[in-house]
């Protein structure tokens, strides 16, 4: 039969190339609700970290514009 995921011809229950089960397409929907919730939690944390970094960068840029210097920021060199 033909793998629906990667279109490899194979005999057996699992595609030898991508590991997809016979007749089944590998999608994110094969994940359990628990896995989805965990992924969402991870994504939420990642989003929060990114927005925090963006905020700090904006604050730093604003400070730099005010004072004309910006070499004393401990985050200097970590973010950029
Ligand atoms: Zn496959």
- For residue range 8-64, list pLDDT tens digits in order: 999 888 889 998 887 666 665 667 888 889 999 999 999 999 999 999 999 999 988
Distance (angstroms) between ligand 1 centre and the Cα of 11 equals: 11
47: Cα within 13 Å, side-chain hemisphere: 6
Do residues 4 and 20 lie in contact, with contact meaning Cβ atoms separated by under 8 Å? yes
Distance (angstroms) between ligand 1 centre and the Cα of 75 equals: 45
Distance (angstroms) between ligand 1 centre and the Cα of 1 equals: 10
CA 10, 14, 15, 16 dihedral sign is negative
Do residues 13 and 23 lie in contact, with contact meaning Cβ atoms separated by under 8 Å? no
What pLDDT, on a 0 to 100 scale, did the predictor assign at position 4?
86
Q: Is the pTM of this model over 0.75?
A: no
In whole angstroms, give the CA distance from residue 35 to residue 77.
35
């Amino acid at each position: 039969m033909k793998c629906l995921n990667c279109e490899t011809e194979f005999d057996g229950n699992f595609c030898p190339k991508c590991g997809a089960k016979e007749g089944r397409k590998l999608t994110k929907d094969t994940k359990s609700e628990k896995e989805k919730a965990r992924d969402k939690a991870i994504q939420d944390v990642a989003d929060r970290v990114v927005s925090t970094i963006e905020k700090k960068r904006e604050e730093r840029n604003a400070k730099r514009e005010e004072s004309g210097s910006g070499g004393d920021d401990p985050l200097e060199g970590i973010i950029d």
